[in-house]
């Protein structure tokens, strides 16, 4: 980044403390709050929240490491279907934690307040419903649903049991998305007409080819439990460790990544979902037995008068990137990397003219009439700010803020934003892409009733 000029400190913007504002390459840059989340406050020993993890793979472990950084949160138990991950859980959180292949043993414990669910998608509904019925609050990874029928079951259980449930699209608690929401609401880009978001990858791991451990077998892995309600097939370590590649356990790029883009879009704009969806794409490169596309494009109509277009491309031989651009009548707002930026180019006050092809006499006559209507003016005053950027502090982790939101709700019983209704609206919208892709037609959705329409 270029040298800082004109430094001004502690500017209050949109209710958020910005740690500093400066010009960089002609762009006004606001550094957002320097401290992340809640200041650590003492938590009395009997105010500790005891948590358990169900599904201790990559994301479950990373969520739980983050949760354990929130003051007053203690990890007490872990359930998983692969012994190697249970062994690593003890390495991470101590030999005295309970580890088991059967999460029912953990749900039966009275001293567990909340669970984090990091299983593959096809277990989300069952594990969340079982946990809430057992009196536990739930942090469940996205996408909340695997099948449309999962949504009403989770919503009903959360209502009936009065448990807090938060879905894990962490951007919903991100200071960057909060800033974007405030900027949009303040009219910074005028009336929104389009949202464009994408996720481009260029690596084998990015295309979900996660490592299979050398000891993977039906001894170290509980294959029948992993399968759950999925079709019964013989032991297959790729299905176990790279489950995103098969519809039986995941929902392809739509459920893995589009859902984040929907959560972000719905949070920033405050809308409930699209009414129409159309998707296309194909399996272009990773022809390794998977049954989901590696390129997916989706178009969605929102009743509020904007379109959303989404793209996931796992075969992008250029640079990897990810972002969201909100386009409005007065500017664009981009969320990407470490912050959110605005570009505003004021529209000309006069319409301009295109008269060169007319006869010279007509050009003269036209220009005279034009200048009579639009006399030449010379703008004065301050140069309008064309570009502005809000940057999160170095190393900012929105999952930490999402965990703080969750544990505050667990303590105060106040509702969270990314509750089961929000989670169903985001995942339900994302999965429309798969319906449209499979059926090769436009599909319709009622975002209020959360129902696919015929």
**Which residues are near ligand NAD by CB under 6 A?**
54-60, 79-82, 85, 103, 118-121, 123, 141-142, 168, 170, 225-226, 228, 243, 256
Whether the Cβ atoms of residue 117 and residue 128 lie closer than 8 Å to each other:
yes
Q: Which residue is nearest to ligand NAD (CB)?
A: 57
Closer to ligand NAD by CB, 103 or 445: give it.
103
How far apart are the C-alpha atoms of 225 and 404, rounded to whole Å? 31
End-to-end CA distance of the chain: 52
Closer to ligand NAD by CB, 128 or 192: give it.
128
CB of 326 to ligand NAD, least distance (A): 21
Closer to ligand NAD by CB, 54 or 308: give it.
54
CB of 297 to ligand NAD, least distance (A): 20
Closer to ligand NAD by CB, 59 or 451: give it.
59
Q: What is the DSSP letter of 376?
A: -
3-state secondary structure of 278: strand
- Tokens read off for 33: 């709050």
Closer to ligand NAD by CB, 29 or 392: give it.
392
3-state secondary structure of 187: coil
CB of 278 to ligand NAD, least distance (A): 24
CB of 127 to ligand NAD, least distance (A): 6
3-state secondary structure of 328: strand
Q: What is the DSSP letter of 243?
A: G
Q: Which residues of 140-167 are buried (b: 16+ CB within 10 A; e: fewer)?
A: bbbbbbbebebbebbbebbeebebbbbb
Q: Measured on CA atoms in the order 431, 437, 440, 442, is the torsion positive or negative?
A: positive
- Which stretches of 270-419 are DSSP H helices? 360-373, 398-412
Closer to ligand NAD by CB, 87 or 442: give it.
87
3-state secondary structure of 292: coil
Closer to ligand NAD by CB, 55 or 298: give it.
55
CB of 79 to ligand NAD, least distance (A): 4
CB of 351 to ligand NAD, least distance (A): 47
How far apart are the C-alpha atoms of 232 and 211, rounded to whole Å? 23
Closer to ligand NAD by CB, 306 or 407: give it.
407
How far apart are the C-alpha atoms of 282 and 285, rounded to whole Å? 9
CB of 157 to ligand NAD, least distance (A): 17
Helix (H) or strand (E) holding 166: strand 165-167
CB of 85 to ligand NAD, least distance (A): 5
């Amino acid at each position: 980044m270029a040298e800082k000029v004109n430094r001004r400190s502690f500017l209050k913007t949109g209710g958020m403390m910005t740690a500093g504002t400066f010009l960089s390459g002609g762009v006004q840059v606001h550094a957002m709050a320097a401290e992340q989340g809640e200041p650590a406050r003492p938590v009395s020993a009997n105010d500790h929240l005891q948590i358990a993890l169900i599904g201790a793979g990559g994301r479950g472990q990373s969520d739980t490491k983050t949760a354990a950084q929130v003051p007053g949160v203690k990890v007490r138990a872990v359930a998983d279907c692969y012994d190697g991950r249970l062994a690593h859980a003890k390495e991470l959180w101590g030999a005295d934690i309970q580890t088991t292949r059967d999460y029912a043993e953990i749900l039966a414990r009275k001293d567990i307040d909340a669970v984090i669910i990091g299983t593959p998608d096809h277990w989300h509904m069952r594990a969340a419903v079982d946990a809430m019925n057992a009196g536990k609050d739930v942090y469940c990874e996205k996408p909340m649903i695997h099948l449309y029928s999962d949504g009403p079951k989770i919503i009903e259980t959360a209502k009936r049991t009065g448990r807090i449930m938060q879905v894990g699209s962490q951007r919903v608690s991100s200071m960057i998305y909060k800033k974007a929401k405030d900027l949009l609401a303040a009219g910074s880009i005028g009336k929104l007409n389009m949202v464009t978001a994408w996720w481009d990858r260029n690596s084998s791991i990015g295309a979900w080819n996660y490592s299979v451990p050398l000891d993977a077998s039906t001894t170290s892995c509980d294959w029948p439990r992993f399968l759950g309600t999925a079709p019964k097939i013989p032991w297959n370590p790729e299905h176990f460790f790279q489950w995103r590649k098969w519809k039986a356990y995941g929902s392809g790029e739509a459920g893995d990544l589009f859902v984040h883009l929907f959560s972000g879009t719905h949070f920033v704009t405050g809308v409930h979902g699209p009414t129409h969806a159309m998707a296309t794409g194909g399996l272009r490169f990773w022809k390794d037995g998977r049954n989901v596309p590696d390129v997916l494009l989706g178009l969605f109509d929102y009743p509020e008068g904007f379109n959303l277009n989404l793209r996931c491309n796992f075969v992008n031989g250029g640079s990897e990137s990810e972002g969201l651009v909100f386009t409005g009548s007065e500017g664009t707002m981009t969320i990407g990397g470490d912050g959110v930026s605005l570009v505003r180019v004021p529209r000309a006050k006069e319409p301009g003219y295109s008269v060169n092809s007319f006869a010279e006499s007509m050009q003269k006559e036209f220009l005279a009439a034009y200048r009579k209507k639009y006399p030449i003016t010379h703008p004065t005053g301050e140069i309008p700010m064309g570009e502005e950027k809000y940057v999160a502090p170095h190393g900012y982790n929105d999952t930490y803020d999402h965990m703080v939101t969750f544990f505050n709700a667990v303590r105060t019983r106040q509702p969270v934003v990314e509750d089961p209704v929000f989670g169903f609206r985001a995942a339900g919208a994302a999965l429309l892409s798969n319906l449209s892709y499979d059926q090769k037609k436009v599909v319709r959705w009622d975002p209020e009733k959360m129902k696919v329409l015929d």
